Amino acid sequence: MNKIEIKFNATLENEAVIRNTIGLFAATINCTIEDIIDIKTIVSEAVSNAIIHGYEQDKEKEVLVTGILNDNELIIIVKDDGVGIDNIAEAIRVNYSSKNRSGLGFTIIKSLSDDLQIKSKKDMGTKLIIKKILTIKGQ
Partner 1 sequence: MDSRISIKDNKNVVIFKVEGDFDNLLCIKYKSSITEILARKKAELTIFDLSQVNFIDSSGIGLLLGRYKQVNEYKGKLIICGVNKQIKKTLAISGIALIIDTYEDIYENIKESITSYE
Ligand X SMILES: Nc1ncnc2c1ncn2[C@@H]1O[C@H](COP(=O)(O)OP(=O)(O)OP(=O)(O)O)[C@@H](O)[C@H]1O
5, 49, 73, 95: which one is catalytic?
49
49 is catalytic: yes
Quote the least distance from Cβ 91 to Mg ion, whole Å: 10
Q: How is 43-102 classified by DSSP, letter by letter? A: HHHHHHHIIIIISTT-TTSEEEEEEEEETTEEEEEEEE-SS--S-HHHHTSTT--TTSS-
Subset of 45-84 contacting Mg ion (CB under 5 A): 49
34, 45, 73, 87: which one is catalytic?
45
* Position 50 contacts partner 1 (CB under 8 A): no
Quote the least distance from Cβ 102 to Mg ion, whole Å: 8
Contacts of 33 (CB under 8 A, 6+ apart): none
Residues that are catalytic: 45, 49, 101
